[in-house]
């Protein structure tokens, strides 16, 4: 009787899930194009960041970005580790008809990614000057590099967690919402960075803040999933580490 009940649950889920019932070719193009749209705006933001810094701050600003680019490589690795890795585990659970297990993965990864990245950011902060010297920062750009790093480290946990919920939203069969969560913040960040650099003369910290804003605002997908028609409405028990 238990196996029959499980089979019935899986059948119901397969009927309501487009990832288990629709053409692979159609799904490929749908999910790929939405992902491409979102990531394209992220690339545009990165390009314009270089333009704004080069024209509004100058060579020293570009030198700081060059030095701190290593941090972004670390961040991209964390995005893949927690975002792609966590969403893959959740997708496997959903594929087996285990909705509660998928939601538990989501809650666990969200909390763990935030805690892990916060600890990592704190460790980097404690050794900031040594790391900057190791990366090649000279005395001329040490202060600016320190400013960029501090802003970057403050926002890194939110960026990593926002990447987790971005990929979970795609697993939840909402690629359009995930795409908008990358497009809208990128546009907002471009506008804010322009005003901060050219109108308010804030300096290199504006670059770090805008880049973090462009990635981190996707964290609001948590609210979208929690109060929308979603399989990933978190409960308190989902935050208990498994």
Confidence of residue 74 (pLDDT cuts 50, 70, 90): confident
Note whether 217 and 85 are within 8 A (CB).
no
CA dist 102 and 85 (Å) reads: 13
Burial-class residue 92 by CB neighbours within 10 Å (0-12, 13-18, 19+): middle
Q: Extract the tokens encoding 156.
A: 């890194």
* 5, pLDDT greater than 80: no
Tally Cβ neighbours within 10 Å of residue 91: 18
Tally Cβ neighbours within 10 Å of residue 27: 15
Q: Which residue has the higher pLDDT, 225 or 72?
A: 225
The chain-wide mean pLDDT, for the chain, equals 88
> Residue 13's pLDDT is what?
52
* 3, pLDDT greater than 50: no
Max CA distance (Å), the chain: 74
CA dist 215 and 115 (Å) reads: 18
Task: For 12-50, write each residue's pLDDT tens digit.
Answer: 555 567 777 778 888 888 899 999 999 999 999 999 999
> Residue 25's pLDDT is what?
87
């Amino acid at each position: 009787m238990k196996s029959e009940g499980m089979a019935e649950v899986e059948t119901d889920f397969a009927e309501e899930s487009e990832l288990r019932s629709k053409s692979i070719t159609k799904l490929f193009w749908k999910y790929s194009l939405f992902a491409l749209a979102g990531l394209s705006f992220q690339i545009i933001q990165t390009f314009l960041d270089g333009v704004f810094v080069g024209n509004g701050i100058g060579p020293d600003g570009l030198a700081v970005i060059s030095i701190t680019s290593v941090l972004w490589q670390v961040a991209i690795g964390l995005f893949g580790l927690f975002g792609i890795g966590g969403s893959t585990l959740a997708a496997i659970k959903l594929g087996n008809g285990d909705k509660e297990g998928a939601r538990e993965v989501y809650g666990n990864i969200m909390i763990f990614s935030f805690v892990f990245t916060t600890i990592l950011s704190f460790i980097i902060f404690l050794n900031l000057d040594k790391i900057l010297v190791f990366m090649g920062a000279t005395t001329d750009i040490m202060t600016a590099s320190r400013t960029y790093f501090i802003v970057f480290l403050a926002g890194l946990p939110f960026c990593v967690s926002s990447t987790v919920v971005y990929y979970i939203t795609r697993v939840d069969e909402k690629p359009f919402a995930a795409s908008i969560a990358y497009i809208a913040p990128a546009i907002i960040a471009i506008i804010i960075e322009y005003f901060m650099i050219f109108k308010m003369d804030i300096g290199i910290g504006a670059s770090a803040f805008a880049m973090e804003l462009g990635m981190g605002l996707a964290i609001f997908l948590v609210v979208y999933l929690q109060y929308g028609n979603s399989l990933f409405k978190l409960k308190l028990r989902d935050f208990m580490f498994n």
